[in-house]
């Protein structure tokens, strides 16, 4: 009886599903309405979870790992309950695997990849025609090439492995068996071939770093290596693909904003695009009965932190739906906050800046194709899946 009273007092968002068709069609409007009407709301989808759409609560729940666990980061968990280290680990294990990755992903090391990153971007930009689909031709393959190269995949194998990788992530909803098959093939490539070869002859790539690292004096098991590789690949390209694609869909429709971005410093410009087109929402689970934004949350209940909605919260950002490519400070939450803050953010920022530099150097104007609309995918990683455009090239 007590439970019923508590439950009926909950603010709800009936039918809200971050994978649902409404979120596919107009995620920004749906979330903006929820933030205004009911910023901490209960959804019955996927066995029930809280939906947080204001900056203050997303910030608080992200930072407070003592009240909110990351153990159920994915809602629902398409990996059959598997947890990815470090993003779905809590302290003290979280720190062990985070520092292991962070030791390699330093700002200095990433800057050392600048020329390679530019080479990969330029290759994709040079292959574009006057009519192009920017997600499949640039936003997806470019960060995918980069992360595979950084891991240590031979350049001649990058296209083949990349195709498998895209299938394993993009088709999880439509073809789970096919996606699992692709994952098994990737496991064979990474663990049976690449890891085995680096164990015999370590070099200075990321896989070599993993196979020569130890935890509590022991080398990492194959299963842990597979999860860490999956984490870096998963974190490393789908998010970047989505934010690049969604930004280009916007810029292709809003030519004045495109001109403004071209005339702005790209470092602040890219931060503003990350704020406006934040791709990732993150999951948490209450460790105890607690309160958030005036709502009682029970131990074990999950919450989905809609970072994109938080990043358009007018209580935090002036005129949040209008780009200000010089906005400073810009304390957006696109890379999260707290102990799980994105450790690939230097790489992601550099990829975005270089992608725009190369595209703007080659192309005078990017316009959405007049007869075709961009398409979007809803979900915990949200963003454009196709952006058909017409491009006006400078002399080639
Ligand atoms: C624009 C691109 C990216 C966005 C928007 C993004 C976003 C995020 C966010 C929001 C988190 C925090 C998750 C949480 O609090 O639960 C995170 C964590 C993480 N990201 Fe990224 N990310 C991006 C690119 C990358 C790249 C390129 C890598 C490649 C190395 C990467 C690797 C990771 C890892 C390993 C974590 C887990 C950190 C931890 O749990 O301590 N991300 N990312």
pLDDT in the model for residue 7: 44
3-state secondary structure of 51: strand
Cβ atoms of 40 and 295 closer than 8 Å: yes
Residue of minimum CA distance from atom 27 in ligand 1: 236
Residue 17 has phi, psi (to 5 degrees) of -140, 120
Give the Å distance between the CA of 344 and the centre of ligand 1.
6
Nearest residue (by CA) to ligand 1, atom 21, is 342
- Ligand 1 pocket, residue 283 CB under 6 Å: no
- Residue 253's Cβ-side half-sphere holds a number of Cα atoms within 13 Å equal to 11
Taking the C-alpha atoms of residue 15 and residue 48, their distance in angstroms, rounded to an integer, is 11
The residues, any chain, with a CB within 8 Å of residue 42's CB and separated by 6 or more, are 10, 11, 12, 13, 48, 49, 50, 51
Which of 92, 271, 335, 342, when mutated, tests ligand 1's pocket best, judged by the most ligand atoms within 8 Å of its CB?
342
pLDDT in tens, 174-206: 898 999 899 899 999 999 999 999 999 999 999
Residue nearest to atom 3 of ligand 1 (CA): 239
The preferred substitution site among 245, 284, 344 for testing ligand 1, maximizing ligand atoms within 8 Å of CB, is 344
pLDDT in tens, 270-317: 999 999 999 999 999 999 999 999 999 999 999 999 999 999 999 999
Q: Is 105 in the pocket of ligand 1 (CB under 6 A)?
A: yes
| 3-class secondary structure, 187 | helix
What predicted TM-score, i.e. pTM, was given to this entire model? 0.95
Q: What is the rounded distance in angstroms from the CA atom of residue 6 to the CA atom of residue 21?
A: 30
Tell me, in angstroms, the distance from the centre of ligand 1 to residue 86's CA. 10
Rounded CA-CA distance 338/90 in Å is 12
| pLDDT for the residue 166 | 87
Given this model, what pLDDT does residue 5 score? 39
Two tokens at 38?
Answer: 């009911």
Q: Which helix (H) or strand (E) holds 307?
A: helix 307-310
Residue ranges in the chain modelled with pLDDT below 50: 1-8
Predicted pLDDT of residue 102: 95
pLDDT score, position 2: 39
């Amino acid at each position: 009886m007590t439970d019923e009273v508590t439950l009926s007092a909950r603010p709800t968002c009936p039918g809200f599903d971050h994978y649902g068709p409404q979120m596919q069609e107009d995620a920004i409007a749906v979330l903006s309405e929820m933030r205004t009407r009911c910023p901490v709301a209960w959804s019955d989808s996927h066995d029930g979870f809280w939906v947080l759409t204001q900056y203050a609560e997303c910030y608080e729940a992200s930072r407070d790992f003592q009240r909110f666990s990351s153990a159920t980061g994915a809602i629902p968990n398409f990996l059959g309950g598997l947890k990815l280290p470090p993003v779905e680990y809590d302290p003290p294990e979280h720190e062990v695997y985070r520092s292991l990755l962070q030791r390699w992903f330093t700002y200095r090391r990433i800057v050392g990849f600048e020329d390679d990153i530019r080479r990969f971007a330029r290759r994709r930009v040079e292959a574009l025609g006057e009519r192009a689909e920017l997600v499949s031709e640039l936003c997806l393959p470019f960060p995918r090439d980069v992360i595979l190269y950084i891991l240590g995949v031979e350049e001649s194998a990058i296209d083949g492995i990349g195709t498998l990788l895209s299938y394993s992530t993009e088709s999880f909803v439509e073809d789970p068996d096919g996606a699992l098959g692709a994952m098994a093939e990737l496991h064979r490539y990474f663990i049976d071939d690449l890891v085995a070869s680096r164990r015999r002859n370590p070099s200075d790539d990321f896989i070599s770093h993993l196979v020569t690292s130890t935890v509590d004096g022991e080398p990492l098991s194959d299963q842990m290596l597979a999860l860490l590789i999956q984490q870096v690949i998963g974190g490393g390209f789908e998010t970047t693909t989505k934010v690049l694609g969604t930004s280009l869909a916007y810029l292709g429709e809003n030519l004045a904003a495109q001109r403004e971005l071209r005339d702005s410093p790209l470092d602040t410009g890219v931060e503003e695009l990350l704020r406006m087109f934040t791709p990732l929402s993150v999951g948490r689970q209450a460790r105890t009965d607690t309160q958030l934004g005036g709502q009682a949350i029970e131990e074990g209940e999950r919450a989905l932190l809609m970072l994109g909605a938080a990043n358009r919260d007018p209580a935090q950002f002036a005129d949040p739906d209008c780009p200000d490519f010089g906005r400073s400070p810009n304390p957006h939450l696109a890379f999260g906050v707290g102990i799980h803050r994105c450790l690939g953010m230097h790489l992601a920022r550099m990829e975005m800046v270089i992608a725009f530099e190369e595209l703007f150097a080659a192309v005078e104007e990017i316009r959405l194709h007049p007869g075709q609309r961009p398409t979007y995918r809803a979900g915990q990683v949200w963003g454009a899946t196709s952006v058909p455009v017409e491009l006006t090239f400078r002399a080639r």
